[in-house]
């Protein structure tokens, strides 16, 4: 999974020429180079420590998990990556055995002292154990703790209680290497979807212990993986350059099930039998604002661009690619991913938090008053659909028939709800007071320096004013806001989650009490919810689990710790020389399949 900030916006496209030269933006050499950009700065390149969109995408091309998803198959299908095949899974979904393919090597690094370092089963054991090390700060530990790997939580607790160093060398019954290439995972409870953790480089992208120990505090700047690319150069918050990993194994693309659509068929034909990766270098520029982002592509400085929604009417007038872009050979590739944009309410906050009826009424009134359709229309230029709940399309548990009363604005009902639950008193400025007569001020966080954030803030201000609620805004960098959210210092904040697996468990886990302080930014705790969540985790997909997931979803809608806003629609723009790009809904390593004509 990955977080994505509310991306910055610059309003209408200016007629001024592109004046901010991109680093290394001279004409391409004969090498195959892909130039692209992200609109948010990276944090770094240790999968355990990051969850921002840019870092996650880069890491996915450097580090590899045992499994992945087929590039083209829809619905998505698991396929082996560094594994020799799909894992052996016991009938009760409590034992998993992975076999790693021999002859896979980490990229060369001085730490290895000139020797080739083979990937072995113990590397995945070490990779998973790192999440349990109390010294390391990660948002992802709960993914493994929820799975209840035998012995690991106890090993972590011993290090915490005795204030000792986490013992990586101590074998536990739930995670051990069986031999050089096989490792076993044992769970205390059944987990039918556990294997999906091993198809996500953010959780199980293999790292070498000697690299981690050698670079220690500077590890974020020294990624060493087995993937198709390695880090060549990094200018923080400016440019990241990846180059082909010269030691990458021979990986020949063989298509599996290919959908009948023209794009998938063309990609399968292009890639069949070819050795990956096809590119020699990928240049990732950090361009925060959409106007220079778009102008860099329009001026030929970028080969691949996720279209800023602010320029949608210029690029796609009437929903079709503009004729002048079509003449240049530009491709516009549309996709609807498994993403949700939302706001969370800090349930520990004395103003908006808690389970008292008046606090639930306040959150629901805020959700009723906020106009998601206006946000999509004014800020995202129609490039999104209104969310009916937190569960996005393409994940198991999403109900396409659900229509939530909170997905459409109803100011009259919101006002009546506040009046009914004691928010009927007002101060001298006309703003509502709390039921006890004290001042009521909402505080919503956002990304500093983002013009899109300013647009969103203006909508919130307008609609909360209409409801009679005073609202103030605070801003910081995306990384700082993540830290504040984990420290429970924010009242309200909004961002996107991109799903990393085709299942709704992750979203429902955002309401699970034990996940508070990790994925559960809302700090939501409800005993009934926790028990239902634990029940559905044990069940295979089917009517019983589906029914429990719908109950959980409705509890989130009822208590409103999260306010779902939209599911974005994406348009990727490719210059005429770019071939083979397709946006996968769950994997992030798409550059390994891209061809670029120099």
Which tens digit of pLDDT belongs to each residue from 55-71? 999 999 999 999 999 99
Instruction: Please tell me the pTM assigned to this model.
Output: 0.89
Residue 25: the pLDDT is 46
User: What is the Cα–Cα distance from 36 to 302, expressed in whole angstroms?
Assistant: 5
In the predicted structure, residue 24 carries a pLDDT above the cut 80? no
In the predicted structure, residue 435 carries a pLDDT above the cut 90? yes
Bridge partners, 305 (sequence order): 573
Pairing relation of β-strands 78-80 and 95-99? Answer: unpaired
Q: Over 373-392, what HEC string results?
A: HHHHHHCCCCCEEECCCCCC
Section 24-36 average pLDDT? 72
Section 471-496 average pLDDT? 92
Residue 329: the pLDDT is 96
- Each residue's pLDDT tens digit, 290-301: 899 999 999 999
- Each residue's pLDDT tens digit, 97-132: 999 999 999 999 999 999 999 999 999 999 999 999
User: What is the Cα–Cα distance from 183 to 161, expressed in whole angstroms?
Assistant: 29
In the predicted structure, residue 18 carries a pLDDT above the cut 50? no
Residue 202: the pLDDT is 95
User: What is the Cα–Cα distance from 208 to 63, expressed in whole angstroms?
Assistant: 11
The token duo for 481 is 């806001």
Residue 73: the pLDDT is 96
% of the chain exceeding 90 in pLDDT: 87
Residue 174: the pLDDT is 98
Q: Please, what is the average pLDDT of the chain?
A: 93
User: What is the Cα–Cα distance from 302 to 349, expressed in whole angstroms?
Assistant: 44
In the predicted structure, residue 273 carries a pLDDT above the cut 80? yes
Residue 598: the pLDDT is 53
pLDDT band for position 337 (cuts 50, 70, 90): confident
- Each residue's pLDDT tens digit, 542-586: 999 999 999 999 999 999 999 999 999 999 999 999 999 999 999
Task: Check if the beta carbon of residue 582 is closer than 8 Å to that of residue 414.
Answer: no
User: What is the Cα–Cα distance from 438 to 436, expressed in whole angstroms?
Assistant: 6
Report which DSSP code applies to 539: S
pLDDT band for position 3 (cuts 50, 70, 90): low
Residue 2: the pLDDT is 63
In the predicted structure, residue 411 carries a pLDDT above the cut 60? yes
In the predicted structure, residue 426 carries a pLDDT above the cut 60? yes
User: What is the Cα–Cα distance from 319 to 352, expressed in whole angstroms?
Assistant: 40
pLDDT band for position 26 (cuts 50, 70, 90): very low
- Each residue's pLDDT tens digit, 512-531: 999 998 899 999 999 999 99
Section 398-414 average pLDDT? 94
Q: Over 55-105, what HEC string results?
A: HHHHHHHHCCCCEEECCCCCCCCEEECCECCCCEECCCCCEEEEEECCCCE
35 phi and psi, to 5 degrees?
A: -110, 125
Residue 1: the pLDDT is 63
User: What is the Cα–Cα distance from 185 to 170, expressed in whole angstroms?
Assistant: 15
Residue 9: the pLDDT is 31
Residue 112: the pLDDT is 98
User: What is the Cα–Cα distance from 445 to 121, expressed in whole angstroms?
Assistant: 43
Residue 6: the pLDDT is 40
Judge if the upstream peptide bond of residue 108 is cis by omega within 30 degrees of 0: no
């Amino acid at each position: 999974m990955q977080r994505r900030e509310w991306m910055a916006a610059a309003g209408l496209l200016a007629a001024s020429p592109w004046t901010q030269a991109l680093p290394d933006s001279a004409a391409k050499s004969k090498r195959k180079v892909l130039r692209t950009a992200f609109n948010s700065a990276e944090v770094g390149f240790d999968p355990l420590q990051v969850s921002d969109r840019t870092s996650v995408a880069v890491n996915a091309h450097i580090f590899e998990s045992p499994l992945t998803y087929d590039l083209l198959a829809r619905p998505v299908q698991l396929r082996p990556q560094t594994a020799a095949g799909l894992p052996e899974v016991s009938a009760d979904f409590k034992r998993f055995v992975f076999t790693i393919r021999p002859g896979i090597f980490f990229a060369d690094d001085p730490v290895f002292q000139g020797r080739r370092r083979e990937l072995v089963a113990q590397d995945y054991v070490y990779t998973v154990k790192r999440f349990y090390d109390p010294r390391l700060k990660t948002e992802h530990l709960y993914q493994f703790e929820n799975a209840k790997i035998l012995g690991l939580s106890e090993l972590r607790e011993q290090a915490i209680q005795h204030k000792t160093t986490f013992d990586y060398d101590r074998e536990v019954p739930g995670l051990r290497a069986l031999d050089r290439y096989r490792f076993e995972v044992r769970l205390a409870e059944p987990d039918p979807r556990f294997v999906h953790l091993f198809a996500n480089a953010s959780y199980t992208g293999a790292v070498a212990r000697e690299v981690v120990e050698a670079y220690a505090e500077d590890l974020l700047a020294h990624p060493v993986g087995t993937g198709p690319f390695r880090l060549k150069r990094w200018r923080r918050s400016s440019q990241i350059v990846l180059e082909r990993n010269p030691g990458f194994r021979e990986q020949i693309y063989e298509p599996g099930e290919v959908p009948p659509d023209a794009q998938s068929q063309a990609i399968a034909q292009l890639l069949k039998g070819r050795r990956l990766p096809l590119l020699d270098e990928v240049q990732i520029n950090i361009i925060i604002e959409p106007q220079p982002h778009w102008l860099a592509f329009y001026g030929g400085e970028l080969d691949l661009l996720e279209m800023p929604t602010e320029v949608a009417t210029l690029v796609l007038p009437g929903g079709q690619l503009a004729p002048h872009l079509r003449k240049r050979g530009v491709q516009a590739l549309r996709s609807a991913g498994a993403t949700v944009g939302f706001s969370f309410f800090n349930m520990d906050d004395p103003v908006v938090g808690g389970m008292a009826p008046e606090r639930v009424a306040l959150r629901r009134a805020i959700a009723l008053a906020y106009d998601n359709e206006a946000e999509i229309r004014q800020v995202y230029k129609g490039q999104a659909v209104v969310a009916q709940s937190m569960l996005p399309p393409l994940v198991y548990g999403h109900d396409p028939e659900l229509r939530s009363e909170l997905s459409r604005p109803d100011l009259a009902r919101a006002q009546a709800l506040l009046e009914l639950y004691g928010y009927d008193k007002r101060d001298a400025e006309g703003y509502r007071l709390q039921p006890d007569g004290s001042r009521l001020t909402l505080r919503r966080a956002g990304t500093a320096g983002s013009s899109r954030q300013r647009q969103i803030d203006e909508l919130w201000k307008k609609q909360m004013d209409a409801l009679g609620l005073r609202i103030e805004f605070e801003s910081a960098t995306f990384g700082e806001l993540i830290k504040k959210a984990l420290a429970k210092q924010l009242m309200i904040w909004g961002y996107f989650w991109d799903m990393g697996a085709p299942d709704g468990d992750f979203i429902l886990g955002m309401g699970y009490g034990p996940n508070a302080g990790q994925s559960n930014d809302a700090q939501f705790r409800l005993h009934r919810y926790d028990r239902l969540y634990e029940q559905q985790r044990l069940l295979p997909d089917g009517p019983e689990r589906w029914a429990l997931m719908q109950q959980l979803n409705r509890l989130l809608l009822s208590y409103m710790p999260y306010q779902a806003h939209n599911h974005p629609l994406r348009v990727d723009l490719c210059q005429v020389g770019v071939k083979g790009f397709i946006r996968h809904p769950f994997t992030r390593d798409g550059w390994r399949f891209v061809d670029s004509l120099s």
